[in-house]
């Protein structure tokens, strides 16, 4: 999903960075949570997989394994609801990955 250019003032913003064990896990999680659209145009959510700014010992520094979710909302309540719902969806997906493999 990407930011809409519709002239709506979305002054409330939040960005989440979630480091995952692998690029594949990050891409799977992105695919899973990207399916559901926001229920209102008051919130726009942009999801991408990016490279980590930190180098972890024994790991390639160029591996894109960080899930970045950017939220833009017209009011604080809608931002809170969207962020909370996204955390809930990620929690369920990550539990499934752990149980069944990703």
pLDDT of residue 102: 62
Q: What are the domain boundaries of the chain?
A: 12-100
Considering only residues 27 and 8, tell me which one the structure prediction assigns the higher pLDDT.
Answer: 27
Local confidence band at 3 (pLDDT 50, 70, 90 cut-offs): very low
In the sheet that 43-51 helps form, which strands lie side by side, from edge to edge?
Answer: 12-19, 64-73, 43-51
Alpha-carbon distance 66 to 48, whole Å? 8
pLDDT for res 2: 40
User: What superfamily in CATH does domain 12-100 come from?
Assistant: Alpha-D-phosphohexomutase, C-terminal domain (3.30.310.50)
* Mean pLDDT (whole number) for 6-17: 88
Helices (H), the chain: 23-34, 76-100
């Amino acid at each position: 999903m990407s930011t809409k250019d519709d002239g709506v003032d979305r002054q409330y913003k939040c960005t989440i960075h979630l480091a995952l064990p692998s690029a594949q896990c990050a891409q799977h999680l992105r695919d899973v949570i990207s399916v559901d659209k926001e229920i209102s145009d008051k919130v726009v959510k942009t999801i991408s997989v990016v490279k980590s700014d930190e180098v972890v010992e024994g790991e390639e520094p160029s591996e894109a394994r960080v899930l970045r979710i950017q939220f833009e909302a017209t009011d604080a309540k809608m931002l809170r609801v969207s962020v909370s719902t996204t955390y809930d969806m990620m929690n369920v997906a990550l539990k499934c990955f752990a149980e069944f493999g990703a």
